[in-house]
Amino acid sequence: ITQGPKIAEFEKNFSGRVGAKHACALSSGTAGLHLAVRAMNLKPGDEVLVPAITFVATANAVFYAGATPKIVDIDPATGNISLEDLQKKITRRARGIIPVHFSGNPVSMDLINELARKHNLFVIEDAAHALGAAFKNKLIGSCAYSEAAVFSFHPVKHITTGEGGMVTTHNPELAGKISLLRAHGITREKTRLKAAGEGDWYYQQQELGFNYRLTDFQCALGISQLDRLESFVSKRRRLARRYRKAFSGWEEISCLEENSQGRSSYHLFVILLNLERLQVSRKAIFDALRLKGIGVQVHYIPLHFHPYYQQMLGVGKNDFPQAEFFYERALSLPLYPGLGLEEQDYVIKTLRKILTGCRKRRYISLQRH
Ligand SMILES: *Cc1c(COP(=O)(O)O)cnc(C)c1O
C-alpha cells in the first residue's frame, strides 16, 4: 500500500507529461520544497531569495534546511517576484532563488536563470500553482531554467492526491538524493550500498532523512487525475478569459497581467481593487461578496506580516511596499473546473453591483459626463 508499483508509474507519467528526466513523488508540496532545498547542502547563514507574496511553505522550506530566507518584493502587475528588487537583495550570502509562479502565471525564467548564473545561485521553482503552465513553449516542470520544480497535489491545486507533491529535475544525483531523503535516508538498492550487503534483509541509513513518502493508492488517484489535467487547465483558462472579457473597461478593478511569453495555468483569478476609486476597503467588498454566497479569498498575506517572520528576520510593515500595495487590493475570485458559466455570471453581476454601490462620488459624476 505504501511502496507499490503505482508510485513509479505516477512518477514516470508525470515526468513524461512535463518533460523532465526525473520525478520524485512526496507526501506534500511542502515536503518537496523541504527536500529540494535540503539537497542543496546549505549552511547556517546562507540566504535563499523568496518573494514576499507566497504561501508560507515556500520560505519555511529554507528554514527547515538550516538557512535563511531573504524576502524580495514583487511586481504588483503580476504578483510574481520583482527582478529589480531581486537584483538588489542578492548579497555575498545568497545561495539560491525560489521563484513562485503566482496564480499559475509563469515567472520569466530566462531572466531569473541569467541572474542566477551570474551570481552562482541555484533555482528551485515553487510550481505549486503552475502545473500545465508554460514559459517560452516549455512546460513548467521541464526545468529548462532551474535545478528543480516542486508541485503540490493539495485538493485546491490543479490535480489532487488528497495531500501530495512532486519534485521534477534533470539531475539524476538530485533525484537520487531526494528519493533517499524521503524514506529516512535509507536505501536497500545494491548499487547504492556503501558496503557489500550481508543478506537480503540488509539496508543502510546513509543520511538523516524523513518519512515523506506518497502512498501507492494516492499515486493511483494521481495517475487518473493527470490524465484529466489538460481538460482541467483549459476549463480554468476559459473561465479566466470570460472574467477578463467581462471586466474590460471596469475602472474599479484591474486583472493581473499574463506573461506574454508564457501560458498561465490559472490556479487563481486575482483582481486588484482600484481603491482610489472606491469609498471602501477590500474587506468591505470581500465581506459583501461572501454575504452573497461567493467564495472569494485573499492570496496571500505577505511573509513579512507574519509574527514568525517578523521575529526571525526583523522585518515589518513598510519593508516591501509593492507587496503591501498588492495585498491591500487583492481579491481571488472563484475559479475551478467545475464552476458553471451561470455561476460565473452571478459572480460577475454581483461584483458589478457591489462595486457600483461603492464608487467614490467624484467618479460617479465623472461617469455621467
Ligand atoms: C500549496 C502550496 C504549497 C504547499 O503545498 P502543500 O502540498 O500544501 O504542502 C507551497 N507553495 C505554494 C505557493 C502553494 O500554493
Does the C-beta of 29 come closer than 6 Å to ligand 1? yes
Q: What is the distance between the alpha carbons of residues 211 and 292, in angstroms, rounded to a whole number?
A: 43
More confident residue, 101 or 194: 101
Q: In the chain, where do the E strands start and end?
A: 22-26, 47-51, 68-72, 94-97, 122-126, 134-135, 138-139, 148-152, 165-169, 186-187, 204-205, 253-255, 262-263, 269-273, 330-333
Tell me, what's the pLDDT at 72? 98
Instruction: Cell numbers for 184, please give them.
Output: 529516512
Rounded to an integer, the average pLDDT of 61-74 is: 98
Q: Any residues with CB less than 8 A from the CB of 124 and at least 6 apart, and which?
A: 33, 36, 37, 40, 96, 97, 98, 146, 147, 148, 149, 150
CA distances (Å), 357 to each of 255, 345, 354, in order? Answer: 20, 18, 5
Cell of 5: 508499483
Question: What residue has cell string 526525473?
Answer: 22
State the distance from the centre of ligand 1 to the C-alpha of 7, rounded, in angstroms: 20
Amino acid at 62: V
For residue 30, how far is its CA from the centre of ligand 1 (angstroms)? 6
Predicted confidence at residue 147, as pLDDT, reads 98
pTM: 0.96
Q: What is the pLDDT of residue 4?
A: 83
For range 34-52, the mean pLDDT: 98
Ligand 1 atom with minimal separation from the 129 CA: 15
Residue 103 CA to ligand 1 center (angstroms) comes to: 12
Question: What's the rounded mean pLDDT across residues 28-32?
Answer: 98
Q: Ligand 1 mean position to 164 CA, how many Å?
A: 10
Q: What is the mean pLDDT of the chain?
A: 95
Q: Would the pLDDT of 348 be above 60?
A: yes
Q: How far is the CA of 57 from the centre of ligand 1 (A)?
A: 6
Which residue has the CA at smallest separation from atom 7 of ligand 1? 29
| Ligand 1 within 6 A of CB of 152 | yes
User: What is the arithmetic mean of pLDDT over 78-92?
Assistant: 98
Kindly report, residue by residue over 177-200, the tens digit of the pLDDT.
999 999 999 998 888 888 776 788
pLDDT digit string, tens, across residues 214-235: 999 999 999 999 999 999 999 9
**pLDDT at position 364:** 64
Task: Decide: 58 in ligand 1 pocket, CB within 6 A.
Answer: yes
Q: Does any ligand 1 atom lie closer than 6 A to the CB of residue 57?
A: yes
Q: Report how far residue 157's alpha carbon sits from residue 222's, in angstroms, rounded to the nearest whole number.
A: 12
- Position 276 confidence tier, pLDDT thresholds 50, 70, 90: very high
How far away, in angstroms, is 3 Cα from ligand 1 center?
24
List the one residue out of 237, 255, 276 whose CA is nearest residue 331.
255
> How far apart are the CA of 152 and the centre of ligand 1, in A?
6
Mean pLDDT of 25-41: 98
Nearest to 329 by CA among 256, 243, 239: 256
Q: Is the CB of 55 under 6 A from ligand 1?
A: yes
* pLDDT score, position 369: 44
Check if 297 has its Cβ closer than 6 Å to any atom of ligand 1. no
In ligand 1, which atom is closest to the CA atom of 102?
13
pLDDT at 361: 80
Using a 6 Å cutoff on CB, does residue 154 contact ligand 1?
A: yes
Percent of the chain with pLDDT over 70: 98
For residue 201, the model assigns a pLDDT of 87
Please check the confidence at residue 367 and state whether its pLDDT lies above 70. no
Residue 199 has what pLDDT? 86
